[in-house]
Amino acid sequence: MDESDLSSDLRDRLDDRRAERSEGTLALSEQEGYVGDELTLLGRNFPADEQYDIVWHTSDGKWGVIEANRVVGPQYSPRTEAVATVRTDGSGRFEETWTVPEDYGGSHKITVENDGGVAARAEYEVRPWFELDRTTAPMGESFVLRGYGIGPSLDSNNFQVAWDNQFVGFITGVINRGTATARIRAVGPPGEHVVQVWRNYRGVPFVANNTQSPLGPVGGDRPNAWTVEVTEPDDPPPTMWVDELLEEQPFEVHYPDLDADTEAELDVTPQCGPAGTQAVITGRNFPPNASVDLQWYQHVGDGIRGLEVTPTVRPGVLPTVAADADGRFQVEYEVPPAEGSTRPILAEVDGQSVAATGFMMQPSIETFEPTSGPVGTEIEIELSGIGWTAYESAPFFVYDNAPLGYACGTSEDLRSPTVRTVLQATGEPGYHFIEVYPSIFEMEDDEPEFEIRPHLSYLDNHPVRPLPACHMVFEVTGE
């Protein structure tokens, strides 16, 4: 039997037995530390003048996702990496200095191996730690928080971020080997504020982390809280913006089944973008001179109420076109405000769908008005490109770094393909910041608890797709 078929626990026990039979000993200069630390590996009692590989035992992480929609939860599998090659001296000794890489936290096995056999082993604990890029920022800019050595265990898989003792959201390092990046808005009033990282339990900060937790202080002997200063901006902040949109492709698994299997082909250029994108649909190998109905689909349903989400034609979005004598056509159109994720586009001939393509709908801010007014002003917000999938359908609204609530990216009918809400302006006169962060609406695993919470490390660790956040600035004026 191949040892890769064995469980990780059984492989560890086999390695222990082999190490017990070896004559070599591996000692470490430290038993625990942080990503970026230097670690000295000391080999003793090995055969003289022998070459060995130093192997680091860790994990690969990913989000378990079904059909680019349902989020199962974080999933980890064993991974090994040869990090150095050493040769013993005449006394059977070696010494190697190595830098702990960006990787998951927790216990890692380090083995000395020769010809596939384990000659010695040791354990090293990677502890999570956090850093802030700066401690002063103009109002409206961001403090960049990075966490290292996060997860995969339940007690260290995600951490909660607070601003002025107010929970903002969570960070996790599931798909980025334990490293997470978050941008924390520098909100007013000008002056000193506090950013703090807490260890998570059931999706909320456990505030006795540094006093009574058996896991010890958050970040060990490194900071987990920073006093920061927010200064007046030199220029007014922008009114609204969306994070950089990346190149994406639609998911074919979200297309409806075709009625007929033909040689007809359909494609769209570009394949992604927000509302207002100028796109071109091209058809090939259709029946000569055929009338072709192009259909734009919206996903309709309500999972909470047990209504299955299915792709449904949204009438009137795309035109009917005529193929030429070679069975080709091309038509330009402007992508309308629409539900996010994959928007299937099907071509029908004589009432039967014969070809499909898709457009990956990305977020945009369609309405944000007014942009100033006294306390109590009703602020109308409309977002396009908010998807129906479990990893995308619950955009979470945060006002001045305080979570407010979420909206839903799907509806039970075709009434509205966008997300609309009305918020009340609050706070002292000056600028106030509305962020709409990605969140995970539903996860099949019970733990860790990620559901319907602002995901602050969405930049490098969100399931399925690198979703952007939306940002808006409202100025509260005097009466």
Q: What is the pLDDT of residues 53-79, one digit of tens each?
A: 999 999 999 999 999 999 999 999 999
Q: How far from chain centre, in Å, is Cα 284?
A: 37
- pLDDT (0 to 100) of residue 296: 96
Instruction: Calculate Rg over the CA atoms of the chain.
Output: 27
Tell me the C-alpha to C-alpha distance, in Å, between residue 414 and each of 198, 243, 295, 298, 343: 42, 28, 14, 8, 14
- pLDDT (0 to 100) of residue 18: 53
- pLDDT (0 to 100) of residue 400: 98
- pLDDT (0 to 100) of residue 17: 56
Residue 20 has pLDDT above 60, yes or no: no
Beta carbons within 8 Å of 453's beta carbon, 6+ residues apart: 169, 170, 203, 396, 403, 439, 440
> What type of residue sits at position 449?
E
- Between 217 and 360, whose confidence is greater? 360
Residue 2 has pLDDT above 60, yes or no: no
Sign of CA pseudo-dihedral 97, 101, 105, 110: negative
15 confidence band (pLDDT: 50, 70, 90): low
Mean pLDDT of 248-264: 95
Nearest to 130 by CA among 104, 154, 109, 159: 159
Mean pLDDT of the chain: 91
Residue 23 has pLDDT above 80, yes or no: no
pTM greater than 0.85:
yes
Sign of CA pseudo-dihedral 222, 227, 229, 230: positive
Domains in the chain and their CATH numbers? 8-126 (2.60.40.10), 129-244+363-476 (2.60.40.1930), 252-361 (2.60.40.1930)
Location of structure tokens 């009137």: 316
d(CA 446, CA 260): 42
Residue 116 has pLDDT above 80, yes or no: no
Q: Are 136 and 232 in contact (CB under 8 A)?
A: no
- pLDDT (0 to 100) of residue 303: 59
Mean pLDDT is lowest, of 11-20, 47-56, 191-200, for 11-20
Counting every residue, how long is the chain?
479
Residue 1 has pLDDT above 50, yes or no: no
